[in-house]
């Protein structure tokens, strides 16, 4: 019986193709082969092609009697071609949206894939059923495509319009095949240099993120998967505050063109510390169940459950466009897949109540504690710094400063802390306590007693610091009478006499009796109050714009258009791109009711009224991407986009759709 992983044919060969056409739109259903064996897979592709701006909805999947749906994906492409028109050469646009469904037959015989329904701008298109022949085994894959591998896949496009997508796919396949061959040559050279094996550092082996004996590990089980998200957890039953280490990996057997992290785990119920979140994926080879996979670390976190009960490590979700290798060793057409890691429940036990010391600090782990003061003698009434440091295995960030019994003559003024978690699972938290000595003499800061919980033994333990002797000396810069000297026996000595200072002569020169006649004049107070009120009103008008008419959105955009026209006159394509991008953000933000610069354009699109999104969503996306490209892309990639005629054409195109958005905003 042919293995599932060997069922993907070298090229996407259309053996069956059924087309529905109406008013410039074509909908077709194709399969890459229609003869196979049990256990093989095949791909049904629904293509909708139009030279108009239409709304293409996801197809309705029919009853797949006799088949199992393994995976789905979709893709969108736009191509332009210069054609003669009434006013000369003009661009004609063709839009294609494809939906791919990977199926596997469940029984032998002649089966049928029923009709798919696709709604395009309110019109229903139905494809014709496709006949699939399923044999008992032995040569099914070869029968399905072996005699036709040199044929090119026909595209059901518009009459008189050469389909550009085939040439794009062929160019992509040639490029990736060349890259694959180069990669294989490089791998062989590196293997020879390292004596037949890659160094561990090349692929991250031996890293501190590895979990030697995980309590939970999910591994790929289907060799036909384009990729798989694996998760490893070192413990599934812990105490409150005890560390759980979790690693997420990606496994693939193909060539990943894109990788989008759709959803990071929420990790509710945990305190999270990042051990590693890789900026770029580094693959290494790993054999799983006798099948070679490429594996790479996605992220490694240290988690600390906050409360007892059951906490869940939720899924890590990835979307990727992947090419896989066919039996001939060539790269197949790319498909887009979405995968999620398994959710892992963690049982969290409460910390024991029996035997819990009164000085329990909240620390869970193995920690040492030290108290230090820099220096031996300190001036009275001048702050000194006491540092209390916890360090060890666990999350020290959760530790609270223990209660301190300060001796007479010491006051606690302020406390601040600093903490850090390291990749090896160790951490520290250091409290800096500012103390102010109020009396001269010898003072002893007592030892601190702190209790913590050891999750390995399941018991509490206590650590103590050493007492610290402080010598408080006279401070000549301290205010007179602000300190006390320690007499014999530790009792404060008699306080010195405080002499009352006289007021300066300048202040004493103000005599109410001599100024009463001035203050009694009403006109003086009227002038003072009038000046204060006038200054407050002037500032309020400046801050809040009282008395000024607020510009409408149309007027604000019109003002920005003037800046765009000035940049266009100077051939400053960078500024044109940046200003038009900002205009899109401003208008979209107003229409969506959100601050435009705080969200991505696709997020704003999801928040505008559905009618606007349906009628203008594609045009907004395309024109916005043009100006965003002009703002950031290298010069060599811009081509004709930086030519004045092209810029003017794109600006006018953008103004039309922006005008529609403004009109909808003003109608509200």
Q: pLDDT digits over 309-328, tens only? A: 999 999 999 888 888 776 66
Structure tokens at 177: 């095949």
Cα separation of 8 and 294, whole Å?
19
Residue 443, SS3?
A: strand
State the pLDDT at residue 311. Answer: 92
CB atoms within 10 A of CB 35: 19
| pLDDT surpassing 50 at residue 417 | yes
Whether residue 389 has pLDDT greater than 90: yes
What the block records as the tokens of 621 is 């996306």
Q: What angle do CA 454, 394, 273 make, to 5 degrees?
A: 150
- Average pLDDT for 629-646: 76
The residues pairing with 232 across neighbouring beta strands, listed in sequence order, are 217, 247
Q: Which H or E run contains 102?
A: strand 88-105
Query: How does pLDDT run across 221-267, given as a tens digit for each residue?
Result: 887 788 999 999 999 999 999 999 999 999 998 888 888 877 888 88
Q: Is 134 exposed, middle or buried (0-12, 13-18, 19+ CB in 10 A)?
A: buried
Task: Lowest mean pLDDT of 32-36, 258-262, 555-559, 647-651, name the range.
Answer: 258-262
Query: Angle at the Cα of 51 (from 49 to 55), degrees rounded to 5?
Result: 65
pLDDT at 347: 95
Q: Are the beta carbons of 54 and 78 closer than 8 angstroms?
A: no
Higher pLDDT, 187 or 323: 323
Task: Please state, in angstroms and rounded to a whole number, the distance separating the CA atoms of residues 333 and 59.
Answer: 21
Q: Residues 34, 39, 44, CA angle at the centre, nearest 5°?
A: 40
Answer yes or no: are the C-beta atoms of 466 and 439 closer than 8 Å: no
**In the predicted structure, residue 153 carries a pLDDT above the cut 50:** no
3-state secondary structure 260-319: EEEECCCCCCEEEEEEEECCCCCCEEEEECCEEEEEEEEEEEEEEECCCEEEEECCCEEE
Weakest-pLDDT range from 139-143, 495-499, 599-603, 606-610:
139-143
Task: Give the whole-angstrom CA distance, residue 143 versus residue 282.
Answer: 39
Q: Which of 334-343, 499-508, 561-570 is predicted with the least confidence, judged by mean pLDDT? A: 499-508
Mean pLDDT of the chain: 75
pTM: 0.44
pLDDT surpasses 70 at 590: yes
Please state, in angstroms and rounded to a whole number, the distance separating the CA atoms of residues 165 and 440: 88
Instruction: Report how far Cα 385 is from the mean position of its chain's Cα atoms.
Output: 41
């Amino acid at each position: 019986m042919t293995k599932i992983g060997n069922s993907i044919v070298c090229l996407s060969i259309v053996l069956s193709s059924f087309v529905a056409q109406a008013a410039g739109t074509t909908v077709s259903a194709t399969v890459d082969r229609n003869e196979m064996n049990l256990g093989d897979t095949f791909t049904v592709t629904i293509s909708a092609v139009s030279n108009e701006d239409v709304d293409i909805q996801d197809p309705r999947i029919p009853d797949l009697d006799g088949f199992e749906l393994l995976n789905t994906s979709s893709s969108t492409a736009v191509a332009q071609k210069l054609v003669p028109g009434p006013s000369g050469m003009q661009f004609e646009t063709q839009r294609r949206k494809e939906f791919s469904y990977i199926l596997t037959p469940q029984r032998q015989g002649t089966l049928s894939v029923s009709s798919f329904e696709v709604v395009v701008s309110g019109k229903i298109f139905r494809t014709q059923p496709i006949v699939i022949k399923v044999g008992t085994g032995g040569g099914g894959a070869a029968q399905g495509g072996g005699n036709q591998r040199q044929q090119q896949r026909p595209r059901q496009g518009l009459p008189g319009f050469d389909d550009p997508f085939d040439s794009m796919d062929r160019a992509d396949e040639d490029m990736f095949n060349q890259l694959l061959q180069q990669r294989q040559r490089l791998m062989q050279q590196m293997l020879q240099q390292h004596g037949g094996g890659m160094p561990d550092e090349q692929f991250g082996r031996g890293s501190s993120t590895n979990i030697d004996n995980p309590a939970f590990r999910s591994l790929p089980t289907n060799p036909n998967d384009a990729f798989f998200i694996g998760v490893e957890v070192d413990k599934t039953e812990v105490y409150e505050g005890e560390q759980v280490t979790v690693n997420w990996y990606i496994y693939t057997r193909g060539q990943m063109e894109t990788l989008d992290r759709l959803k990071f785990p929420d990790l509710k119920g945990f305190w999270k510390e990042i051990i590693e979140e890789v900026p770029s994926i580094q693959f290494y080879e790993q054999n799983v169940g006798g099948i070679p996979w490429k594996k790479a670390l996605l992220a490694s976190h240290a988690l600390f459950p906050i409360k007892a009960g059951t906490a869940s490590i939720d899924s890590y979700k990835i979307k990727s466009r992947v090419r896989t290798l066919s039996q001939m060793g060539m790269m197949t057409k790319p498909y887009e897949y979405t995968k999620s890691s398994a959710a892992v429940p963690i049982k969290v036990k409460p910390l024991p109540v029996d035997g819990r010391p009164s000085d329990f600090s909240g620390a869970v782990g193995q920690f040492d504690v030290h108290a230090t003061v820099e220096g031996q003698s300190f001036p009275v009434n001048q702050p000194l710094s006491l540092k209390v440091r916890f360090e060890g295995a666990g999350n020290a960030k959760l530790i609270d400063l223990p209660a301190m019994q300060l001796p007479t003559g010491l006051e606690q003024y302020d406390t601040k802390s600093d903490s850090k978690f390291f990749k090896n699972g160790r951490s520290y938290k250091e409290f800096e306590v500012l103390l102010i000595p109020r009396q001269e003499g010898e003072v002893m800061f007592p030892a601190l007693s702190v209790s913590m919980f050891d999750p390995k033994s399941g018991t509490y333990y206590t650590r103590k610091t050493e007492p610290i002797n402080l010598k408080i000396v006279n401070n000549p810069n301290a205010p007179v009478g602000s300190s006390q000297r320690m007499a014999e026996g530790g009792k404060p000595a008699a306080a010195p006499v405080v002499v009352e200072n006289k007021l300066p002569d300048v202040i004493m020169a103000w005599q109410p009796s001599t100024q009463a006649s001035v203050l009694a004049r009403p006109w003086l107070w009227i002038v003072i109050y009038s000046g204060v009120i006038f200054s407050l009103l002037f500032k309020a008008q400046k801050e809040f714009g009282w008395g000024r008419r607020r510009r409408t959105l149309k007027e604000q955009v019109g003002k920005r258009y003037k800046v765009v026209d000035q940049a266009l006159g100077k051939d400053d394509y960078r500024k044109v791109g940046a200003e038009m991008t900002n205009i899109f953000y401003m208008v979209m933000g107003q229409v969506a009711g959100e601050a435009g610069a705080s969200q991505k354009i696709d997020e704003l699109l999801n928040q505008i009224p559905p009618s606007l999104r349906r009628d203008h969503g594609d045009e907004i996306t395309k024109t916005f991407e043009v100006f965003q490209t002009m703002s950031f892309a290298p010069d060599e990639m811009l081509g004709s986009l930086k030519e004045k005629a092209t810029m003017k054409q794109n600006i006018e195109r953008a103004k039309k759709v922006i005008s529609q958005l403004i009109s909808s905003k003003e109608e509200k």
